[in-house]
Amino acid sequence: MATRRSKKRHAGHSGGPETAEQMLDRVLGAFDRWQGEREPDPKRYLEVTDIVRTACELKSSYLGESNPAEWNPEIAMEVVGQVIPRKVVDVDEDYARSLVPAMQTFVEFLVVTGRWKPHNDASATRTALSALEPELPGRFNDPDRLTMAGRIMQVALDEGVDIAEPGALDGFMQRFNDMPYEWRKRLTDAPGMPGWPDDLGFGGPDDNPDDELWDYDGEPGLFDGPDVLEILGAASATGIAAIGFAAQESVPITVPDPRSELSALLATPLLTRMTSLTEWVRPGRKITSTGAMRRADTAEWVHRFGVASGDGVTPNSMWDWPELAVPWSIAAACGLIDNSGGKARPGPNAAIFQTADLPAQILCARDAVDTLIDGLIDAGEELSELDMAVIGVLLALLAGLCRPDGADLSALRSLARPGVDPADLSESISRILFVMVVNIVDMLEAWGFVSTVDGRSSVPPALRPAIVEAIYADGAPFTFRLEPGAIPVEE
């Protein structure tokens, strides 16, 4: 029961209910004072207060949990182990190693001052934080934990590029474009493909970890502003024109009989790997605290899938191998695998492809394709202008690839990989857009949803319903013809 004193103490400045911002300032103000009495090192004091405030603000912004005293083990692992490494870039190892001790200090403060929520187990939260400590430094700047723009920019930062300086990206983008495809794929494969515990989370809890480039603490970002929006608009129009897709074009889609469609879907590398992993977890398999396979199992499966590196490198984490992390994550999202509770086991839909229910099987397989594409385009609630431009060009491209004769992508690829350095910032930004779109198409081809024959690329006919369902929106340029027994595309 709230007392008169507690109501006054937790009231807002106007006497009304306390806002989330006021509650955060109140609790963290008390923490600052508490820590100031105990921490003699000014540098350490500032570091801890900064880490704790960052963690609380990210928890509120991206998990919707605004109470700074609410820290159960799941929230602690998600924020400290997942959100912060994805959201905070260009940090040193000392910062990464300070995260867990700082949060342990905050937990101690909450407990000893009576602010700890009694429904949470403080010991379990401390244990969860300690479990993160050994591997946490390696999660920062990990390309597989950033969206595509975030990964490209992180590589630039790693090379010492001052991305705020006009023209500074020119040489970097040229070097990036000249990398072999496999290198670019490793840097940009599947934004956030690791399967976060809260959901598939291709974008993770953030869903837009590269937005430091666009907006930071309410201030204009490095690439935000009318000039850049104009550049992106012009680049989008250029990219769509290079695809040869007309705005009023109608694309006919034939939805095949269910057995033909299902056979084509299950033959793709994505679904093949998903079903193999689903069978593997049937006995129950121990997994890591991040929901990944253990290292020995990861090494076995990258060899089974034929994606092991030729130099014999042993994978440190499943998340380092998108070829494995992607089907694992999507299988969990589709209910084929349950990777909660420290053990992977069959999910509620594990046996779906052994049933006689063709409609359910096709809908599940289409959901897998939808999840893949959502991840590749980083379909979150907060999208930067660059993300929106990528999506616009990509949707037109996918529609073009679903045409009976597909599309010639040579013109688009020439925009992404010209033989000369970009002339100015406008061309640099355009280049980033085209590189991202081309890389997504290359990833879809690697997963079996795009094929190229005699210079023309297309989505195989039996796979078109799944692709169209994933990108369909009002006004989409598709007409449908259903073969007998076909499962209609959800519009």
pLDDT-based confidence at residue 256 (cuts at 50, 70, 90): very high
Q: How confident is the model at residue 177 (pLDDT cuts 50, 70, 90)?
A: low
Angle of helix 425-446 versus helix 168-178 axis, rounded to 10 = 30
Whether residue 365 is predicted with pLDDT greater than 90 in this model: the reply is: yes
Q: How many CA atoms lie within 13 A of 391 on its CB side?
A: 17
| Overall pTM surpassing 0.75 (yes/no) | no
Mean pLDDT of 244-271: 90
pLDDT at 179: 53
The predicted-structure confidence for 91-114, as pLDDT tens digits, reads as follows 677 888 889 999 999 999 998 888
Q: Can you tell me the distance from the alpha carbon of 346 to that of 277, in angstroms, rounded to the nearest whole number? A: 10
What pLDDT is attached to residue 181?
47
Pairing of strands 337-338, 251-255: unpaired
CA–CA dist 142, 204 (Å, integer): 13
Percent of the chain topping pLDDT 70: 73
